Amino acid sequence: MSGIETLGVVGGGFMGTGIAESAARAGLSVVIYEPEQAPLDRSQASLEKSIGRAVSRGKLSDQEGSDMLNRVAWTRSLDDFDGVDGVVEAIIEDAKAKGSIFKKLDALLPDATFLASNTSSIPIAEIAAWTQRPDRVIGIHFFSPVPVMSLVEIVRAIDTSDETLAAAGAFAATMGKHPVHTADRAGFIVNMLLVPYLMSAIRMYEDGFATAEDIDEGMKRGCGHPMGPLQLADFIGLDVMYAIGESLYEEFKRPDFAPPPILKRLVVSGHFGRKSGRGFYEYPPAKVPAAA
């Protein structure tokens, strides 16, 4: 057993809501925190829609769907985390923003089993340094969409204790996820391999070597990938891609991690991919995820 019965989730965006959904499906009670009401409303609407879809497809009974939704609460106050057994943070890829949250959580929750970050690229030790108890800080990196993807990366920082590591692994298993363990280096396992590939595809497009469609079709039909690299970048979010690339380049100073100029131009123009309706491709408004 993980010892986690009530989970706090910081961030009600696409990832945070997905983490909450998976935890609630596993029978855990969940409290989702956002400082503003609008993202909480989007999170609740997204979760209700997802559960409703599962019920309509026969994957959940009406009662199971109702019980699952009743296990989730939304709040604008971190004080409502009082009594949670563990926390997963899923906010923007910004070390200072995450560190500030962890400092507050550390003071508020002296008895929490772990304080985990869902970061995809920021070193866990950098986040843990904001706390007085770095032994219980760990990385639990979920993949999108969380209810579908079975993998989690568990990232042990320098000061993470054996007890915290064991609890995080048991928590992942409780949620039906397959944990892989990785050293605390920016990018961990998956993004260390994936990001150079995606950045290479973006540079290829930027240089006019081929169209976005042909780059993606080449990798789908030539390598059997379910999604081409530019489609995948749009799906991940170009703002997230840029932040991950910056973090990896800052850590390793390798040019294959550096975001190409066109990626920065798209991000500063508000073209984040699917969630904004435009990235390397354009997406009809109906396909933009409400909780992204």
Residue position matching structure tokens 């929750």? 109
Alpha-helical segments (H) within the chain: 14-25, 37-56, 62-70, 95-108, 124-128, 162-174, 190-206, 212-223, 229-236, 238-252, 261-268
Q: In what order do the strands lie in the sheet with 178-183?
A: 72-75, 29-33, 6-10, 86-89, 114-117, 137-142, 151-156, 178-183
Q: Could you tell me what percent of the chain has a pLDDT over 90?
A: 92
pLDDT of residue 144: 87
Q: Mean pLDDT across the stretch 219-232?
A: 97
For residue range 168-209, what is the model confidence (pLDDT) as tens digits?
Answer: 999 999 999 999 999 999 889 999 999 999 999 999 999 999
Q: What is the pLDDT of residue 2?
A: 62
SS3 86: strand
Q: Quote the pTM value.
A: 0.87
Which option is the CATH number for 191-275: 3.40.50.1100, 2.30.42.10, 1.10.1040.10, 3.40.50.10210?
1.10.1040.10
pLDDT band per the 50, 70, 90 thresholds, residue 288: very low
| Chain segment 234-257, per-residue pLDDT in tens | 999 999 999 999 999 999 999 999
Per residue in 117-163, pLDDT (tens digit) is 999 889 999 999 999 999 999 999 999 899 999 999 999 999 999 99
Whether residue 291 has pLDDT greater than 80: no
pLDDT higher than 90, residue 64: yes
Cα(138)–Cα(184) distance, integer angstroms? 9
Q: Just list the catalytic residues.
A: 120, 141, 153, 191
Instruction: Provide the token pair at 4.
Output: 């986690």
Task: Report the pLDDT value the prediction gives residue 77, as an integer from 0 to 100.
Answer: 97
- Which residues of the chain does CATH 3.40.50.720 include? 6-183
Per-residue confidence (pLDDT) for residue 49, from 0 to 100: 94
At residue 69, the pLDDT reads 95
Residue range(s) occupied by CATH 1.10.1040.10 in the chain: 191-275
With 80 as the cut, is the pLDDT of residue 287 above it? no
pLDDT reading at 230 higher than 60: yes
CATH says 6-183 is which class?
alpha beta
pLDDT digits (tens, 9 = 90+) for 73-85: 999 999 999 999 9
Average pLDDT score, the chain: 94
Please enumerate in sequence order all residues whose Cβ is within 8 A of that of 92, keeping only pairs 6 or more positions apart, or say none: 243
